[in-house]
Amino acid sequence: MDGHDSEDSKQSTADMSAFVQNLLQQMQSRFQTMSDSIVTKIDEMGTRINDLEHSINDLRTEMGIEGSPSPVQQPKPEAGEVKEQEGSA
């Protein structure tokens, strides 16, 4: 009976090895699919950002502020500064 138990043990080990190998292949396939999906979404987002920047630049050109810095809010002059600028003109 020792020979029979040994064969069962070898078959069980082979079955477990095949199961683990199959599981690892499935995990690799799923990981690759998710990775590809993430890269695709990042590429799409980059394209959308580039399109948005182009649209913003087009709008700025139409408004005549082509050479101005990025649309960061400029500090508003205080009331005294506005009067000084008006008086010097």
**Structural domain of 48:** 35-63
pLDDT tens-digit readout, 11-39: 899 999 999 999 999 999 999 999 999 99
Residue 30 lies in a domain: no
Is pTM beyond 0.85? Reply is no
pLDDT in tens, 35-69: 999 999 999 999 999 999 999 999 999 998 755 55
**For the chain, what is the domain count?**
1
In a domain, 58, yes or no: yes
78 within some domain: no
Helix, strand or coil, per DSSP, at residue 74: coil
Query: Alpha helices, DSSP H only, in the chain?
Result: 2-63, 79-88
Torsion on CA atoms 29, 33, 38, 43, rounded to nearest 10: 130
Q: What confidence score (pLDDT) does residue 4 get? A: 66
The answer to whether residue 53 sits within a structural domain is yes
